[in-house]
């Protein structure tokens, strides 16, 4: 099949490359000419494991190319995926839909001249419920035979290629049997491997994404709330989470206590969902999401407090090393990064802060130019009074605490992700603090 992908950011670039990989002819569209140039040369504009080789192979094979022209997109295919961003609206928790509307409005006038009948516009962007219906009305003023369907993405940064090619489920909200049949045909190579296809209406498909993210965010904030209780009772939150997760009704995933969630999805999605519920007169139904957001934000303050304790009660004239800048491992994405928020708060309280990250240093430096950065862990930790472990990259878990102790001024570490081996670090002479854990060292 031939299809276009409008918007070649994180979701769009991955979707375009993966659809080309399973055999479709794909045209990626974006207004960012520098991004289009890089993608056309087979270079992804961000770090994502497995994407670079797949992208270059698809471009070299001629199954994937890129353009800045929506007119060209209209002529290329009769199925168009909209993958543009929906950031948080300035001054509000609501989603900003300007990019989605611009993509649909820009495409619509070209559709009647494309020669295709029954054009299908498929949304993958995360949007408030009711968006598909509204876009359908706008689209049909220019293209009466065009349909809108919604096919939410469930990608995890760092696992996006695998999540696209081996998804747990494919959800499609289509308004007609014709649209559903086309989507089943498009995803046929994935369905043949046993992937579940869930067909529903567009409104339900829109809700599936925000409801799922809200539930995951709630699990994370719940275990972090339990970590706060553990801190004042002497209980161990890791043992608590393990015991809770052993219950099949609860499960262990997303019960990892620590610094909390960040990135471009969970924070903005729960805020947008709460804002949309208010618009619908159902704000009380999801009022708990405000507390989920507050608990998550509070973990950053708690981490700063732990670090200040280890620094002797003040950051003035102290050197602090921060391990991690990306909001999660296996990514260079620093949007709403808890690690950088903590690092910058400590800097503003008087400390000299040096940050290390295996992939995200360039993005972090652009976002927080007042921070200092190091390309080696040893350089970041050199003569540090406190070390903060803030992004759970595997290489940080594999650090030799005895060797690192010879580099720092004071062997004190905050394990804000609760993934380091406390026995190994304590045996090497370190004082280790972690949220929800008994004091170690």
Q: Which positions are catalytic?
A: 265
Q: Give CA–CA dist 66/41, Å, rounded.
A: 10
User: Got the DSSP string for 367-380?
Assistant: H-TTSEE-SSHHHH
The CA-atom distances, in angstroms, between 267 and each of 87, 122, 264, 295, 357 are: 10, 24, 7, 12, 22
State the DSSP string of 127-192: --TTHHHHHHHHHHTT-TT-EEEE------TTSHHHHHHS-SEEEEE-SSHHHHHHHHHHTHHHHT
Q: Which residue has the tokens 């609760």?
A: 418
Three-state secondary structure call for residue 388: strand
Three-class SS state of 121: strand
Are 175 and 201 within 8 A, CB to CB?
yes
Distance, CA of 244 to CA of 104 (rounded, Å): 45
200 near 173, Cβ under 8 Å? yes
């Amino acid at each position: 099949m031939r299809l276009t992908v409008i918007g070649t950011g994180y979701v769009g670039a991955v979707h375009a490359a993966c659809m080309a990989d399973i055999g479709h002819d794909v045209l990626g569209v974006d207004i960012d000419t520098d991004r289009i140039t890089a993608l056309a040369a087979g270079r992804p504009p961000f770090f994502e494991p497995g994407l670079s080789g797949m992208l270059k192979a698809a471009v070299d094979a001629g199954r994937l190319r890129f353009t800045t022209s929506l007119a060209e997109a209209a002529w290329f295919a009769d199925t168009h995926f909209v993958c543009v961003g929906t950031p948080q609206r300035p001054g509000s928790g609501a989603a900003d839909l300007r990019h989605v509307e611009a993509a649909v409005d820009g495409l619509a006038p070209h559709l009647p001249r494309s020669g295709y009948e029954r054009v299908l516009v498929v949304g993958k962007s995360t949007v408030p419920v009711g968006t598909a219906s509204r876009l359908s009305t706008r689209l049909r003023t220019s293209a009466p035979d065009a349909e809108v369907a919604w096919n939410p993405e469930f990608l995890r940064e760092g696992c996006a290629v695998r999540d696209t090619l081996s998804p747990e489920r494919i959800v499609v909200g289509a308004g007609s049997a014709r649209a559903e049949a086309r989507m089943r045909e498009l995803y046929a190579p994935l369905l043949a491997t046993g992937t579940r296809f869930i067909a529903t209406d567009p409104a339900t498909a829109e809700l599936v994404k925000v409801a799922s993210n809200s539930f995951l965010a709630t699990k994370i904030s719940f275990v972090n709330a339990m970590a706060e209780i553990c801190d004042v009772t002497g209980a161990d939150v890791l043992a608590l989470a393990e015991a809770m997760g052993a219950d099949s009704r609860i499960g262990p995933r997303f019960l990892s206590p620590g610094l909390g969630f960040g990135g471009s999805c969970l924070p903005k999605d729960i805020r947008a969902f709460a804002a949309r519920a208010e618009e619908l007169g159902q704000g009380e139904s999801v009022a708990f999401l405000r507390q989920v957001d507050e608990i998550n934000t509070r973990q950053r303050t708690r981490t700063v407090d732990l670090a200040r304790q280890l620094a002797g009660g003040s950051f003035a004239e102290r050197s602090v090393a921060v391990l991690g800048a990306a909001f999660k491992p296996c990514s260079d994405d620093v949007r709403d990064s808890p690690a950088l928020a903590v690092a910058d708060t400590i800097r503003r309280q008087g400390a000299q802060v040096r940050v290390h990250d295996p992939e995200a240093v360039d993005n972090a430096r652009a976002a927080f130019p007042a921070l200092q950065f190091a390309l080696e862990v040893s350089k970041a930790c050199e003569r540090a009074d406190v070390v903060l472990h803030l992004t759970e990259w595997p290489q940080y878990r594999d650090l030799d605490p005895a060797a690192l102790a010879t580099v720092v001024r004071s062997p004190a570490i905050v394990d804000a992700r609760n993934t380091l081996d406390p026995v190994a670090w304590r045996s090497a002479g370190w004082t280790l603090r972690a949220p929800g854990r008994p004091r170690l060292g």
